[in-house]
């Protein structure tokens, strides 16, 4: 065999391969078909359960068996995707009309996952059999080969209701996504009937029946006026709110009880909502919360927020709408596969496609039924005719050598080889002219059929068959008759499975809440050597001043509405809100500043902390490891960002000292090699925070600044150095950029 090497452009191969992949995901994986509202994995799972006989009135079967059979026969894409689809079809909090009856742990509304497939069991719901699978044996839809052409599967299920609207759908394909909200079954069926009676009906008129989405979690849709545009275009945003009730509690307190949540909150978002509410209290956005508990159960959602006695309940409720996911947005994009390609459709177009599909399915169903009735009629007429000449039939059978000879006589009138009692019988036998099917039925007929009652029953059956034929022909010939059949089936489904609407549709203004202004006051910021920070009131600090100053690395006044500035050795400035710090008793434990700011103690070292309002009144002196100095106006650090660069550093350099410039007169630089340089602070120039600064001391190649001190003229100040106390004011006063003097340690 000669190998052929085909040279082609790499980009052309990539383009073709990606397009093929994208279309495969769009058509065969992620998007539902408008006709049955199902994705391929859902359709295949339901069909496999139907084939396995796992009906609603039969025992449950292991989910693992269903998943394995579906994967082996129809859906070769992994067991997890099949089981996930099966689980979702059982969850009544995700689907308005569950299609599978699950037995075991199939997850819950709070986001807990289902148990492994080996532990759970499932079977079809009754409505799934009656409205999704009941007519599969009547050749109403096309069957296609499966992935390895060893089985056949339906191209689409003969669903009798617009499942795409009733259950909705969510899916992400390549370059497109679908998001269709669920609707009320009874309302959708009424809209379908209205369309069938008047195909020129408008979307506005259809919305007399379909008021809007009906989420299984209830809630309130608050933008009713925008729904018409959404249902006409098939895209838009639905605004949802949870349902909140007010209950009186003991001691004159009020409980805010959330009994229904937005559809978008199901799963992990319930936990996030609880954390968001707790965060409102921790960050002091509100001081009305006493306690919050999640009392939800199988009976429904119940989240209780206990409020203080004097709380403004309405204002607090509006704050929840604004600050949490109790008010959320559901993005609508009604995208589905229509005529083999993805298309965004409005309400009327979806209903039209579903109705056209129903006409097609019904026509194929009754055509199939008519063919069977005509076949039955033919056989019945043959048997009735045979009963009238039964003696002749018996004579032919007794006189024939085999079945083929008897059949040839009945069908073609061939009498050769058959022994007759008389010539008259032979002549009559030659004139019978039964059809092929009639002859087979006569030859298969048992003797008990010749009983009088059996013959009478055969005649009555023939009359019923003729009535059915007349009815089926009428349905196939007249669209009105077919429409009535479809409407009757829809009415039966509605009577059996409709339920009350859960989601309220209304117009509501934007939630407005007035944020309570916090009275500004002076408090004291405390931070210990381990980086734990807190605040206390001024009287408490004054009573414990000695202990506070001794036990804490920083203790200074600040405003409760202000910010704290944290300067680090990497030249960064991190700010944190004072309101984010716990306010309480003197001995209360604080919180790590890492938790309330961008400061990371594992990567940087805190050099200086100060109140931002204080820095606005002063200038700030910076000193680095390489002896670079500068003074910066403190107002430059009044920033909105949580982290900014406080100074510019040379490569390998770091900040060793940051102080507010108040009453200092001299600066003393101490190097690692034991050199001290003392000079006037006035020699340090004022620069912008983005500048490197000027050199304060000439260092040897391996030397660096180890410490920085400040002193005032005529004020004695000493530091421990080696085995002695070093008086800073006795160090010779020099000039900036000098080498300094060597001081021995002992």
Q: Write out the catalytic residue numbers.
A: 119
Separation of alpha carbons 290 and 306, rounded Å: 5
Q: Are 668 and 708 in contact (CB under 8 A)?
A: yes
| 321-360 burial code (b ≥16 CB/10 A, e <16) | bebbbbbbebebbbbbbbeeebbbbbbbbbbbbbbebbee
Measure Cα distances from 634 to 15, 607, 644, 694 in Å. Answer: 58, 16, 14, 18
Q: Are 184 and 176 in contact (CB under 8 A)?
A: no
What is the distance between the terminal CA atoms of the chain, rounded to a whole angstrom?
A: 95
Separation of alpha carbons 668 and 678, rounded Å: 4
Cβ contacts of 555 within 8 Å, gap of 6 or more: 524, 525, 526, 527, 541, 548, 549
Q: Are 121 and 104 in contact (CB under 8 A)?
A: yes
Bridge pairing between strands 572-577 and 522-528: unpaired
> How many residues make up the chain in this entry?
746
Neighbours of 466 (CB within 10 A): 14
Alpha-helix runs per DSSP H in 101-166: 126-128, 163-166
Measure Cα distances from 332 to 180, 212, 237, 477 in Å. Answer: 6, 12, 6, 40
Tokens of 634: 């403190």
Separation of alpha carbons 126 and 138, rounded Å: 19
Query: How many Cα atoms are found within 13 Å in the side-chain-facing hemisphere of 647?
Result: 33
Query: How many Cα atoms are found within 13 Å in the side-chain-facing hemisphere of 534?
Result: 20
Q: Are 43 and 146 in contact (CB under 8 A)?
A: no
Q: Are 44 and 3 in contact (CB under 8 A)?
A: no
Separation of alpha carbons 552 and 554, rounded Å: 5
Q: Are 38 and 46 in contact (CB under 8 A)?
A: yes
Q: Are 382 and 443 in contact (CB under 8 A)?
A: no
Q: Are 511 and 321 in contact (CB under 8 A)?
A: yes
Furthest C-alpha separation in the chain = 157
């Amino acid at each position: 065999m000669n190998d052929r090497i085909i040279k082609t452009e790499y980009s052309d191969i990539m383009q073709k391969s990606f397009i093929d992949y994208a279309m495969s995901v769009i058509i065969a994986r992620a998007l539902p078909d408008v006709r049955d509202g199902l994705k391929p994995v859902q359709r295949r799972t339901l069909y496999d359960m139907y084939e396995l006989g796992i009906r609603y009135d039969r025992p449950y079967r292991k989910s693992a068996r269903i998943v394995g059979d579906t994967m082996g026969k129809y859906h070769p894409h992994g067991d997890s995707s099949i089981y996930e689809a099966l689980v979702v079809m059982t969850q009544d909090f995700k689907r308005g009309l569950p299609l599978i009856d699950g037995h075991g742990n199939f997850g819950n509304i709070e986001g807990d996952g289902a148990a492994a497939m080996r532990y759970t069991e499932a079977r079809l719901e009754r409505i799934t059999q009656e409205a999704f699978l009941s007519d599969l044996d009547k050749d109403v839809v096309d069957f296609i080969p499966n992935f390895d052409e060893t089985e056949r599967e339906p191209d689409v299920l003969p669903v009798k209701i617009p499942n795409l609207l009733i259950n909705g759908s969510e899916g992400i394909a390549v370059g497109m996504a679908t998001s269709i909200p669920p609707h009320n079954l009874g309302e959708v069926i009424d809209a379908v009937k209205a369309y069938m009676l008047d195909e020129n009906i408008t979307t506005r008129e259809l919305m007399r029946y379909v008021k809007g989405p009906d989420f299984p979690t209830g809630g309130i849709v608050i933008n009713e006026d925008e729904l018409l545009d959404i249902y006409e275009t098939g895209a838009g945003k639905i605004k949802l709110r949870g349902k909140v009730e007010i209950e009186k509690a003991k001691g004159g307190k009020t409980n805010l009880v959330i009994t229904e949540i937005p559809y978008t909150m199901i799963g992990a978002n319930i936990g996030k909502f609880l954390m968001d509410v707790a965060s409102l209290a921790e960050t002091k956005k509100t001081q009305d919360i006493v306690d919050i508990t999640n009392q939800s159960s199988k009976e429904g959602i119940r989240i209780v927020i206990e409020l203080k006695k004097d709380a403004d309940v309405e204002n607090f409720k509006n704050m929840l709408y604004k600050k949490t996911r109790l008010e959320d947005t559901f993005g609508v994009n009604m995208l589905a596969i229509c005529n083999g390609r993805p298309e965004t459709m409005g309400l009327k177009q979806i209903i039209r496609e579903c109705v056209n599909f129903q006409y097609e399915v019904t026509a194929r169903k009754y055509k199939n039924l008519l063919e069977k009735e005509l076949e039955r009629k033919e056989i019945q007429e043959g048997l009735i005719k045979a009963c009238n000449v039964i003696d002749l039939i018996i004579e032919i059978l007794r006189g024939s050598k085999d079945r083929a000879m008897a059949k040839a006589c009945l069908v073609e009138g061939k009498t050769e080889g058959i022994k007759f009692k008389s010539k008259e019988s032979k002549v009559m036998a030659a004139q019978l002219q039964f059809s092929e099917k009639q002859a087979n039925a006569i030859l298969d007929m048992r003797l008990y059929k010749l009983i009088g009652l059996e013959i009478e029953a055969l005649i009555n059956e023939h009359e019923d068959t003729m009535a059915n034929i007349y009815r089926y022909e009428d349905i196939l010939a007249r669209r009105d008759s077919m429409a009535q059949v479809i409407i009757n089936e829809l009415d039966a489904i509605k009577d059996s499975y409709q339920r009350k609407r859960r989601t309220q549709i209304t117009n509501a203004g934007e939630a407005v809440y007035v944020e309570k202004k916090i009275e500004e006051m002076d408090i004291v910021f405390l931070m210990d050597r381990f980086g734990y920070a807190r605040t206390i009131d001024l009287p408490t600090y004054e009573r414990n001043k000695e202990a506070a100053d001794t036990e804490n690395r920083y203790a200074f006044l600040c405003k409760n509405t202000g910010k704290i500035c944290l300067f680090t050795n990497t030249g960064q400035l991190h700010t944190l809100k004072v309101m984010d710090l716990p306010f309480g008793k003197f001995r209360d434990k604080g919180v790590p500043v890492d938790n309330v700011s961008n400061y990371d103690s594992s990567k940087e070292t805190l050099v200086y902390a100060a109140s931002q309002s204080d820095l606005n009144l002063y200038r700030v002196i910076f000193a680095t490891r390489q002896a670079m100095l500068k003074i910066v106006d403190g107002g430059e650090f009044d920033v909105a960002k949580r982290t900014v660069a406080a100074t510019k550093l040379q490569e390998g350099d770091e900040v060793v000292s940051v102080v507010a410039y108040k009453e200092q007169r001299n600066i003393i630089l101490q190097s690692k090699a034991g050199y001290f340089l003392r000079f006037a602070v006035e020699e340090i120039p004022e620069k912008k925070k983005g500048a490197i600064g000027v050199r304060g001391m000439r260092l040897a190649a391996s030397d660096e600044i180890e410490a920085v001190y400040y002193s005032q003229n005529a004020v004695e100040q000493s530091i421990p150095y080696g085995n002695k106390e070093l008086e800073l004011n006795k160090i010779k006063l020099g000039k900036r950029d000098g080498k300094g003097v060597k001081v021995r340690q002992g």
